[in-house]
Amino acid sequence: MPPHLTADLQWPDRWSRQEAVELAGDYEAVPSGRSWTGKILAGWGLAGLADDVGLVASELLTNAVRATLAGGGASPVRLWLLGGQSCAVLLAWDAANDLPRRGDAGPCDERGRGLAIVDAIAARWGWYALPPQDASATSAGGKVVWALIGTLPFSRRRRSQ
């Protein structure tokens, strides 16, 4: 089970399908993680989410690897995938304590669009820091960035009047 989910996502019975992978904290983690999510989703019968989840995985892992390399590159990155009936939650962990922030990419910039892409694809996303003593993820602390892709079947929606 991934460390800490937000209150509306944490019900264990809502996420009967859970997988995790630990990847080296280098850029090979990005295509590996994207491929891994596609295989898992196909096995769960959620292949229709694979493109969006794969793109979000690429963005989250790229950020996690950048943070890891900036901190010396000694730790892995971790990815969790939780599956529902018509949605998935992706969580990416890295040991760095710097918090995610959206970039302001110019038209010719090669970087700075990752979280804007996540924001455009995900129904919701967020992040949280882990305390150093949280052994469920790592003794190093760090942070988790998560994204919900698809629609929660158990979320409350307002009725149109």
Which residues share a beta bridge with 18?
Answer: 82
| Domains of the chain as residue ranges with CATH | 14-150 (3.30.565.10)
pLDDT at 27 over 80: yes
The secondary structure of 112-155 as a DSSP string is: S-HHHHHHHH-SEEEEEE--TT-TTT-TT--EEEEEEEE--TT-
Nearest Cα neighbor of 126 from 1, 8, 28 is 8
Tens digit of each residue's pLDDT (9 = 90 or more) over 32-76: 999 999 999 999 999 999 999 999 999 999 999 999 998 887 789
pLDDT band for 128, please (50, 70, 90 cuts). confident
- pTM given for the model: 0.81
CA atoms within 13 A on the CB side of 19: 15
Instruction: Give the distance from CA 2 to its chain's centroid.
Output: 11
Sheet of 143-150, strands arranged across: 17-23, 77-83, 87-94, 143-150, 124-129
pLDDT at 81 over 90: yes
